[in-house]
């Protein structure tokens, strides 16, 4: 709430969040309070949504002195930093050529019981189907908020609405059972600790134990931190943090063979609107890195968008962006390889070096490894050539937009205001715009703001992004900001 208030007030400055032993530096590291690692994910999103408010998460160990602490917290670099035995560590993103570790082994056992949260969603059903194909003699427990339709209605549902969600669920469960597996569906919210704990305890009573868990439940974040209320934020966090906590603690005495947490690209390269989602998923990362005291193999996979099924398809974000969207067979193969290895964490995505968003990587609070950095430099060079051509086409498109500005008695408007108005109108579709109309009050949203800001930057040749539209929300205010940027650039340019 404090960070939201600062963002809404337009404060420029730095926030340093101090935690103690909340994050794991290496696999198996002792972590005092893993739930306190969630701010690391949130901090990254604040930097995306509001670049004027730099946020640094500084995780300390028990050996820090006051002088050392002061040295670290005054450093300007944002992002996540771990202080261990007097040394400072920062995240690095590098390619992983192989998922295997050389100790591959089977992970499903005949007669075993496997629980999947988000179990009747597209990915949950695909995982269940893969498990049944690898080991038919298993009990699959699918947990989801919606559950499954009554079995007596399946035949009618499939005939009446074959492409509907309920029909797809019924059809897929029928196919899984046709392989020989036994499917049991529970309607319960993974974000409700009591409800999820009741399911786990009932499954343990019925089957004696749970041999493996896939935690794939989740709700995406859909708005900027400054525009969200606490309940909305909590709704996103709970399935991740509360769900994982219950699954971990309720099985502490029975030691399942594995727990797979479906994490997200948002913990490494978040987008605006993913504050709660990044926070919740970073907790999953920490659980996997620290592991458990028993032999349970805890895994966290940071997924980019799946192209054919899952949340990205449901919300219309299944396209290639900074990363190439994952095909279903590829995603299932990654899950299989992770479980056959003893690896605890992986980023499941391929950088889209041929895309138009590679330049965005430089804006993240993340160091790039040597291999990625070399490829990125070449990709950026290729991108500059493509963008030069695209910018010319975009300027022609915006110049062709017809919009009438209103709000001044003399009817006189600056060239920058006219261009900004055309960019607003291109996105919103209005034939007239008041020069003082608030972008977000006339139909604009956080996703639209990204496109509008990019178009303004292209047409007026300034560095402007969606965060600037949070500060300067009207045609007049944006034009003022653009002219100020131009003046500042002229002052620092050599004569």
DSSP code string of 49-92: H-TTEEEEEEEE-TT--HHHHHHHHT----EEEEEETTEEEE-E
Whole-number pLDDT of residue 274: 82
User: Given the DSSP bridges, would you call strands 92-93 and 112-117 parallel, antiparallel or unpaired?
Assistant: unpaired
Average of per-residue pLDDT values in the chain: 88
The rounded percent of the chain whose pLDDT value lies above 70 is 94
Instruction: Give the contacts of 241 (CB within 8 A, at least 6 positions apart).
Output: 35, 38, 279, 280, 283
pLDDT tier for residue 126 given thresholds of 50, 70 and 90: very high
Alpha-carbon dihedral angle through residues 62, 67, 69, 70, given to the nearest 10 degrees: 170
- What residues are paired with 263 via a beta bridge? 302
SS (H, E, C) 121-164: CHHHHHHHHHHHHHCCCEEEEEEECCCCCCHHHHHHHHHHCCCC
Percentage helix, strand, coil for the chain under 3-state DSSP, each rounded to 5:
45, 15, 35
SS3 assignment, position 295 = coil
What pTM did the predictor assign? Answer: 0.77
- On the question of pLDDT at 3 being above 60, the answer is no
Distance of CA 247 to the CA centre of its chain: 21
Whole-number pLDDT of residue 367: 85
Whole-number pLDDT of residue 96: 77
Whole-number pLDDT of residue 135: 96
User: Given the DSSP bridges, would you call strands 79-84 and 87-90 parallel, antiparallel or unpaired?
Assistant: antiparallel
C-alpha distances (whole Å) from 131 to each of 114, 141, 247, 414 are: 9, 12, 20, 64
With contact defined as beta carbons under 8 Å apart, do 259 and 212 qualify?
yes
Question: Span 51-68, mean pLDDT?
Answer: 87
Count of residues for the chain?
A: 495
Find, among 12, 90, 94, 104, the residue nearest to 57 by Cα.
90
φ, ψ of residue 484 to 5 degrees: the values are -65, -45
Instruction: Give the contacts of 443 (CB within 8 A, at least 6 positions apart).
Output: 428
DSSP code string of 387-417: HHHHHHHHHHHHHT---EEES-TT----HHH
- On the question of pLDDT at 450 being above 80, the answer is yes
């Amino acid at each position: 709430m404090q960070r939201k208030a600062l963002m809404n007030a337009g404060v420029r400055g730095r926030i340093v969040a101090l935690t103690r032993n909340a994050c794991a530096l290496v696999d198996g590291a002792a972590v005092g309070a893993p739930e306190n690692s969630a701010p690391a994910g949130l901090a990254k999103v604040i930097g995306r949504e509001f670049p004027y408010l730099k946020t640094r998460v500084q995780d300390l160990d028990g050996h820090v002195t006051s002088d050392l602490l002061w040295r670290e917290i005054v450093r300007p670099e944002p992002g996540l930093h771990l202080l261990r035995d007097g040394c400072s560590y920062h995240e690095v993103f590098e390619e992983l050529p192989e998922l295997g570790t050389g100790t591959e082994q089977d992970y499903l056992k005949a007669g075993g019981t496997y629980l999947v949260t988000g179990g009747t969603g597209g990915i949950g059903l695909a995982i269940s189907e893969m498990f049944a194909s690898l080991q038919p003699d298993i009990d699959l427990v699918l947990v989801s908020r919606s559950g499954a339709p009554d079995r007596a209605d399946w035949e009618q549902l499939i005939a009446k609405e074959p492409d509907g969600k309920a029909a797809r669920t019924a059809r897929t469960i029928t196919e899984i059972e046709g392989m020989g597996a036994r499917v049991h569906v529970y309607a319960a919210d993974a974000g409700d600790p009591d409800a999820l704990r009741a399911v786990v305890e009932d499954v343990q009573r019925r089957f004696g134990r749970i041999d493996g868990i896939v935690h794939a439940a989740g709700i995406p974040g859909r708005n900027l931190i400054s525009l969200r209320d606490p309940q909305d934020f909590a709704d996103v966090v709970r399935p991740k943090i509360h769900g994982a906590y219950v699954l971990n603690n309720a099985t502490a005495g029975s030691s399942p063979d594995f727990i797979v947490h479906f994490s997200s690209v948002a913990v490494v390269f978040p987008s605006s609107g993913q504050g709660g989602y990044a926070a919740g998923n970073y907790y999953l990362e920490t659980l996997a890195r620290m592991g458990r005291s028993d032999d349970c193999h805890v895994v966290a996979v940071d997924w980019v968008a799946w192209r054919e099924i899952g949340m990205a398809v449901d919300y219309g974000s299944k396209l290639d962006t900074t990363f190439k969207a994952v095909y279903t067979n590829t995603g299932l193969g990654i899950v299989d390889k992770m479980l056959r290895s003893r690896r605890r964490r992986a980023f499941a995505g391929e950088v889209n070096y041929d895309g138009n968003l590679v330049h965005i990587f430089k804006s993240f609070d993340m160091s790039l490894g040597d291999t990625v950095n070399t490829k990125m430099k070449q990709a950026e060079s290729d991108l500059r050539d493509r963008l030069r051509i695209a910018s010319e086409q975009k300027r022609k498109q915006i110049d062709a937009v017809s919009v009438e500005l209103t709000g001044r008695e003399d009817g006189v408007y600056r060239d920058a205001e006219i261009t900004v108005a055309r960019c607003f109108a291109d996105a919103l579709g209005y034939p007239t715009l008041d020069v003082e109309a608030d972008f977000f009050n006339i139909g604009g949203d956080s996703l639209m703001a990204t496109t509008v800001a990019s178009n303004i930057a292209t047409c007026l040749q300034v560095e402007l992004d969606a965060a600037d539209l949070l500060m300067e929300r009207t045609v007049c205010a944006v034009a003022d900001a653009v002219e100020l940027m131009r003046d500042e650039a002229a002052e620092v340019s050599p004569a």
